[in-house]
């Protein structure tokens, strides 16, 4: 069973672990009972428990806000790098007379990108700290900007949990690398498109200038750089054209076309393609590690939970004696559902010989039957865990004694729906009847438990749902 095997669930698990390591165990009796009812191995139960605790604490919603902030920050940086790529291309070819030093233009287009790429490659080879693998700070700028967007009392905890989880699972290195390469790839593609647009719209004269080096050095450099682009069809200036491009001679249009092709070819071969391949590699390794997510169940914070989540005798329902006259409070929603809401109707500890259903219910309601035995309780909890019901209607016998265990069981079942109603069947209509005292005890205990919708008449229950 790996229903929760996704990176967001592991992130929440790390957040819960950090919270409990700093502030002590979180009260989780209801969540643990749900986890035990669903079953699975220890890792599945840890993930489900953390997800239920996160939903109760509001962390699941905060997690989605953080994910949105990461996306918005990446979009903002992507736009910035698109503008930067266009600006670099315009600056590389910006001259008053149209004369462009071809090598300086190439350095302007590829210099910073190549330095960043070499640093990334060096960090991979040296196996340094994972945070270094993002390059020269672009990914850190992305994370910093995301943290500025999301604010809240627990946002720092969830960000720390994200970094801790991603580092342990070897996701941090490749996610930051993927972001780094994506931003540079956008800048290079924009620069390439801008260079092509400028070359198509204006006339440029390419040349080289030097004080120390001779023409032969430039011949070797240009032909060496042009070898790989030439393999995919980009032109490389001939030896004669390179020697004549000293800025002292006027070259033909064909020679300028050769220089233009060489410049664009170098930009694609030494800029765009390496970044694209590195981006693809980072995404591939990121996805591979995401498919291999696993929990170190022997680390501090998880060992203590094994006995509670993997008991020798699994517990379903409420069978234990309650202490003092206390009952848990049911979590109810202020907004009352309608008849058409997704509703489940359950009979709780009714007499075995009692006919079911006890009354006619709307056709769209789901009939969960009568629940009394441990097996039936386990099946009910599994159903409520799988389905998402807006309304849970629990039917009990008002002629039975309202012991604390039953009320606690009702309170737990109420947590599986957005709204809960109690129907007390066989309620006396005359206060002089002997069972009227039991009805009063039911009403008192249900009120203490926080149930707001308690009915002795099923038709009244339906009428208030209209």
pLDDT in tens, 93-102: 988 778 888 8
State mean pLDDT over 311-338: 54
In sequence order, what are the residues at sequence separation of 6 or more whose Cβ sits closer than 8 angstroms to the Cβ of residue 284? none
Contact (CB, 8 A) for 181 and 81 = no
Most confident of the ranges 10-24, 77-91, 196-210, 245-259: 77-91
User: To which residue do tokens 């970094």 refer?
Assistant: 163
Side-chain half-sphere exposure of 275, counting CA atoms within 13 A: 26
The string of DSSP letters for 236-259 reads: ---HHHHHH-SSSSPPPHHHHHHH
| Whole-angstrom distance, CA of residue 18 vs CA of residue 162 | 11
pLDDT in tens, 111-160: 999 999 998 888 888 765 544 444 446 666 777 777 676 666 678 888 88
Band of residue 316 on the pLDDT scale cut at 50, 70, 90:
very low
% of the chain beyond a pLDDT of 90: 28
Q: Which of 181, 186, 176 is nearest to 78 (CA)?
A: 186
- Please tell me the predicted confidence (pLDDT) of residue 295: 87
Task: Write out the two tokens for 130.
Answer: 């994972």
Band of residue 312 on the pLDDT scale cut at 50, 70, 90:
low
| Whole-angstrom distance, CA of residue 286 vs CA of residue 22 | 30
- Please tell me the predicted confidence (pLDDT) of residue 191: 96
Main-chain phi, psi angles of 98, to 5 degrees: 85, 5
Task: Write out the two tokens for 138.
Answer: 């672009």
- Please tell me the predicted confidence (pLDDT) of residue 307: 81
pLDDT in tens, 188-217: 999 999 999 999 998 888 888 877 777 888
% of the chain beyond a pLDDT of 70: 88
| Whole-angstrom distance, CA of residue 252 vs CA of residue 250 | 7
Q: Which of 145, 134, 200 is nearest to 172 (CA)?
A: 134
- Please tell me the predicted confidence (pLDDT) of residue 319: 44
Most confident of the ranges 260-274, 346-360, 415-429, 452-466: 260-274
In sequence order, what are the residues at sequence separation of 6 or more whose Cβ sits closer than 8 angstroms to the Cβ of residue 227? 236
In sequence order, what are the residues at sequence separation of 6 or more whose Cβ sits closer than 8 angstroms to the Cβ of residue 241? 251, 255, 258, 259
Residue 352: CB atoms within 10 Å: 7
- Please tell me the predicted confidence (pLDDT) of residue 106: 93
Angle at CA of residue 179, ends 176 and 184, nearest 5°: 125
Strand partners, 206: 100
Band of residue 431 on the pLDDT scale cut at 50, 70, 90:
low
User: Average model confidence (pLDDT) for the chain?
Assistant: 83
Judge whether residue 452 has pLDDT over 50: yes
- Please tell me the predicted confidence (pLDDT) of residue 1: 41
Task: Write out the two tokens for 406.
Answer: 């039953």
Report helix, strand or coil for 118: helix
The DSSP element (H or E) to which 281 belongs, if any, is helix 273-291
Contact (CB, 8 A) for 264 and 226 = no
Residue 154: CB atoms within 10 Å: 16
Task: Write out the two tokens for 118.
Answer: 């070499």
In terms of DSSP bridges, do strands 343-348 and 205-207 run parallel, antiparallel, or are they unpaired? Answer: unpaired
Judge whether residue 436 has pLDDT over 80: no
* Higher-scoring residue by pLDDT: 46, 249: 46
| Whole-angstrom distance, CA of residue 419 vs CA of residue 417 | 5
Report helix, strand or coil for 342: coil
Task: Write out the two tokens for 445.
Answer: 């205990």
Contact (CB, 8 A) for 368 and 346 = yes
19, 30, 348, 375 from 315: Cα distances, Å: 26, 12, 17, 11
Most confident of the ranges 160-169, 192-201, 325-334, 410-419: 192-201
- Please tell me the predicted confidence (pLDDT) of residue 37: 72
- Please tell me the predicted confidence (pLDDT) of residue 268: 96
Main-chain phi, psi angles of 304, to 5 degrees: -65, -20
Number of continuous H segments (helices) and E segments (strands) in the chain: 17, 7
Q: Which of 354, 365, 361 is nearest to 398 (CA)?
A: 354
- Please tell me the predicted confidence (pLDDT) of residue 133: 45
- Please tell me the predicted confidence (pLDDT) of residue 32: 83
pLDDT in tens, 397-412: 988 888 878 888 888 8
Task: Write out the two tokens for 214.
Answer: 């001779």
| Whole-angstrom distance, CA of residue 436 vs CA of residue 442 | 10
Task: Write out the two tokens for 36.
Answer: 């035990």
In terms of DSSP bridges, do strands 417-425 and 454-455 run parallel, antiparallel, or are they unpaired? Answer: parallel
- Please tell me the predicted confidence (pLDDT) of residue 324: 43
Judge whether residue 320 has pLDDT over 60: no
Judge whether residue 251 has pLDDT over 70: yes
State mean pLDDT over 433-440: 74
Judge whether residue 299 has pLDDT over 50: yes
Judge whether residue 80 has pLDDT over 90: yes
- Please tell me the predicted confidence (pLDDT) of residue 89: 95
């Amino acid at each position: 069973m790996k229903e929760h095997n996704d990176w967001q669930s592991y992130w929440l698990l790390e957040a819960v672990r950090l919270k409990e390591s700093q502030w002590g165990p979180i009260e989780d009796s209801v969540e643990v009972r749900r986890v035990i009812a669903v079953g699975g191995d220890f890792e599945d139960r840890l993930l489900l428990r953390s997800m239920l605790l996160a939903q109760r604490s509001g962390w699941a919603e905060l997690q989605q806000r953080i994910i949105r902030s990461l996306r918005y920050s990446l979009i903002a940086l992507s736009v910035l790098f698109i503008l930067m790529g266009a600006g670099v291309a315009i600056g590389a070819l910006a001259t008053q007379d149209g004369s462009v030093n071809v090598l300086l233009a190439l350095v302007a287009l590829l210099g910073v990108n190549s330095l960043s790429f070499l640093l990334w490659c060096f960090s991979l080879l040296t196996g340094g700290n994972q945070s270094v693998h993002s390059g020269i700070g672009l990914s850190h700028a992305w994370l910093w900007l995301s943290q500025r967007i999301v604010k809240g009392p627990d946002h720092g905890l969830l960000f720390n949990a994200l970094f801790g989880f991603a580092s342990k699972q070897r996701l941090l290195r490749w996610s930051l690398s993927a972001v780094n390469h994506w931003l540079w790839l956008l800048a290079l593609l924009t620069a390439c498109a801008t260079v092509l647009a400028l070359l198509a719209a204006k006339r440029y004269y390419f040349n080289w200038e030097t004080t120390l080096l001779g023409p032969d050095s430039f011949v070797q450099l240009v032909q060496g750089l042009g070898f790989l682009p030439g393999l995919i069809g980009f032109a490389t200036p001939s030896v004669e054209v390179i020697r004549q491009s000293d800025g002292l001679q006027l070259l033909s249009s064909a020679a300028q076309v050769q220089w233009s092709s060489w410049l664009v070819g170098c930009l694609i071969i030494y800029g765009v393609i390496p970044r694209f391949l590195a981006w693809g590699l980072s995404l591939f390794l990121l996805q591979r590690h995401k498919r291999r997510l696993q929990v170190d169940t022997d680390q501090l914070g998880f060992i203590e939970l094994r006995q509670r989540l993997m008991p020798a005798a699994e517990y379903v329902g409420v069978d234990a004696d309650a202490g003092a006259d206390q009952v848990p409070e049911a979590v109810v929603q202020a907004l009352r559902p309608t008849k058409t809401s997704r509703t489940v109707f359950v009979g709780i500890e009714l007499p075995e010989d009692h006919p079911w259903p006890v009354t006619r219910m709307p056709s769209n309601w789901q009939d969960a039957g009568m629940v009394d035995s441990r097996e039936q309780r386990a099946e009910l909890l599994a159903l409520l865990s799988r389905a998402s019901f807006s309304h849970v209607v629990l039917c009990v016998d008002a002629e039975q004694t309202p012991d604390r265990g039953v009320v606690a069981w009702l309170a737990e079942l109420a947590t599986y729906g957005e709204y809960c109603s109690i129907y007390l069947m066989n309620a006396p209509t005359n206060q002089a009847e002997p069972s009227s005292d039991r009805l009063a005890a039911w009403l008192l205990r249900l009120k203490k438990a926080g149930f707001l919708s308690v009915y002795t008449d099923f038709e009244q229950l339906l009428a208030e749902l209209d």
